[in-house]
Amino acid sequence: MLDSVNLNDKTYSELLLEAIAQIPLYSKEWTNYNVSDPGITILQNLTAFQLVQQLTINEISDEIREKLLKLAGYQPREARPAQLMVQAPAEGGDILDREHLLWSGTIPFEAEEEILLQPWGLESVYAGSPEGERDVTRLLDPARDGAAYPFGRRPQAGNTLTCVLSGTPEVGEALYLWLQVAQEELRNPFDEKTELPHFSQVRWQYYTDQGWQDARTEDETAGMLRSGLVKLWLEHGLPQPAEVGAARGCALRCLLESAEYDRVPRLNSLAVHLFPMVQRESRVSCRVCGKERTELKGRLPRLGNLLVYCREEPGSPYREYRQTPVEGAQGRFWTKEETARGVKLHFEGGCEPCGDPDAVRVVCYDNEMIHHRFLGRAEGYDDQVIPIYQAEGILPESLLLTVVTDEGACYFLTPGEEGPDGFCYRLRAGSGQIVIEDPGRGGYALYLSGCAVTQGERGNLRARATLEQRGGYDGTEVEERYFSPAPGRFGATRESVEELRARFSAGIRRCNVAVRLEDYENLVRSTPGLCIHKVKAVSVGEENLVRIAVKPYTEGRTPKLSQEYLRQIREYLEPYRMLTARFELCQPRYVAVGVQATLSIRGVADHARETVEQLLREVLDHVDGPENFGGWIRFHEVYQKLSDLPFVEAVDVLNLFPDGRDAVLVGSDVRLGDDCLCYAGGIQLTLREHGR
């Protein structure tokens, strides 16, 4: 049932024949299989009962399957909005209010907070080393092919990457930088549960009148090992202009304090002055404020579709206030004043909120959801289902209901939160329904007070996307365009029950204990954050030991495992090791294999020697080639490849010579050690024209 097996794929006759065929396995005395036999009659009844049971199991609802999978420790992943970093224009721009929308086609992106677009940008970039400053400003063009070494080809402590700005950023505000790292596919994905490898230590700084000062930093790149955001706060004085290379201006720099990189970092692009947008659209928003601070800014308040609730005594329930019908009316009323960026509320009629900072709640609706604000009543029975109309892809954390009692008391409840008389509800995010788990006394009126929707994975846009700010009389006119140098990230659509069952099936087959040699090899290959090229595990039975040879994917010709690699692999493997088993990590050994060959060629072939030598080096290259540790160099395969060359008439002489004890000759073949990789050694090649 949990692993998607169809239990109802056989007929009654097939099931009965299978049962009768198994009778001899359990009883030699039972020899009468006719329908008149009482045992056969019982078997027929049991088969019919099995058929009904299987049919019932197959018809179990998705909700029951989800609960069964929850018992097994698997819950569906909820929808998550994508995050997109957008580049502010260098000349600055208007203030983007909370809930401001930018569009990529039909996909909206929303500002979570107010964003001030200040006039500054990135003018030039320099990579600094003891040899001087090297201009790498080409990193500012993400469409340009090629990569730059931010710390040089041989990084060392003290090297820098400096960004010269065209203006002055605001002190105290978060600055976002996006670094796009080249050749990320060679490195295993990082696992946030595992300690990051310590290949380097970097510090981000900015220039002040006191010199370079450290900036408080959140760095996703792990020292430029992976693409990600760098978030900086300038908190130690005002930025001042600095002389960097041929440029002058406010400057940020990344200072390399230590460098033991496995692969020298390279950048494809660098972007600064970014601001975050989230792929969601708030259809209903609840603002919380006090009596003295009732100015509401943003897109939804400006529409004017407001419901206002106030708490008149500290700790008491909220009461609904209505917009003043006529001037001078007495009661729970409010009026609004239009401001440049929103509205401001005033309370009239003799009633007003108390002095609590959360005494006022204002629910703002868009022009569609204002017509669907009333969801219905809780009728007083469990598992009552109430649909939410015109809202697909609801984010569970955004959902908020106002529960109104017959006495007019109002309570604001999130899913799972307990309200009056134990009232509680939950959200079926997949179908956009509310399920009343405990109705309390019943009869409560339910209003939608908070709702944001997302398109999940669709928000994970590719890098270099363009977003539009739309307006005009019908909301379709493009008023401004913005560029996103970074891809959208983290967006996820809510997992269906079928997808959850597939994940469960894969999970129960996942390796949790290293038993086979293949288990050790697969685990080492997937060590988070490392560049692993080749792995070979060999069992030493009498010692209850597994020896594992590992070659890192680094830029050296014959790389060895660093102490950091050894530590990371050991710590990652240890939880998977069986209690009595031991493992040992082995450095790769490299063996040179020499060749002596005499070839007869047709006529005078141009570049024949270079072609043959190149072929032999490729055949004997197990270091960078697809071959794993150990294995053989087969004489007949080398002979055949040489014979297949179009200008070779015959291979007169061919000898292979391994250099050292790590490989041995077996007949004419070469057998490599279990932790060995070979490469071409000396090549003695004689070419002669055929017939001479």
User: What is the SS3 assignment for 306-336?
Assistant: EEEEECCCCCCCEEEEEECCCCCCCECEEEE
Query: 431 pLDDT exceeds 90?
Result: no
Q: At 388, give phi and psi (nearest 5°).
A: -110, 115
Residue 1 pLDDT grade (very low, low, confident, very high; cuts 50, 70, 90): very low
Query: Tokens for 624?
Result: 């960078």
pLDDT tens, position by position, 605-634 = 668 889 999 999 999 999 999 999 998 999
d(CA 477, CA 348): 39
Radius of gyration (Cα) for the chain, nearest Å? 35
Query: 534 pLDDT exceeds 90?
Result: yes
Give 249-275 as a DSSP string: EEEEEEEEEEE--SS---EEEEE-SEE
pLDDT for 7 equals 56
Give 608-664 as a DSSP string: HHHHHHHHHHHHT--SSSS--SS-EE-HHHHHHHHHTSTTEEEEEEEEEEE-STTEE
pLDDT for 35 equals 87
Secondary structure element (H or E) that encloses residue 572, with its range: helix 563-573
In sequence order, which residues have a C-beta less than 8 Å from that of residue 206 and are 6 or more positions away? 212, 213, 215, 232, 234, 239, 250, 251, 252, 253
Task: Answer for the pair 645, 611: CB distance below 8 angstroms, yes or no.
Answer: yes
Long-range Cβ pairs for the range 14-20 (8 Å, 24+): 15/47, 15/50, 15/51, 16/43, 16/44, 16/47, 19/43, 19/46, 19/47
Distance of CA 490 to the CA centre of its chain: 5
**Chain mean pLDDT for the chain:** 89
pLDDT tens, position by position, 240-294 = 999 888 889 999 999 999 988 888 999 998 999 999 999 999 999 999 998 877 8
pLDDT tens, position by position, 472-487 = 777 788 888 999 999 9
Task: Answer for the pair 267, 180: CB distance below 8 angstroms, yes or no.
Answer: yes
d(CA 284, CA 369): 7
Q: Which of 97-111, 326-340, 385-399 has the lowest mean pLDDT?
A: 326-340
Query: 442 pLDDT exceeds 90?
Result: no
Mean of pLDDT values over 83-105: 90
pLDDT for 675 equals 93
pLDDT for 478 equals 87
Give 52-86 as a DSSP string: HHHHHHHT--HHHHHHHHHHTT--PPPPB--EEEE
Query: If you search the block for the tokens 């994940």, which residue do you land on?
Result: 503
The structure's pTM equals: 0.81
Query: 403 pLDDT exceeds 90?
Result: yes
Query: 143 pLDDT exceeds 60?
Result: yes
Q: At 478, give phi and psi (nearest 5°).
A: -80, 115
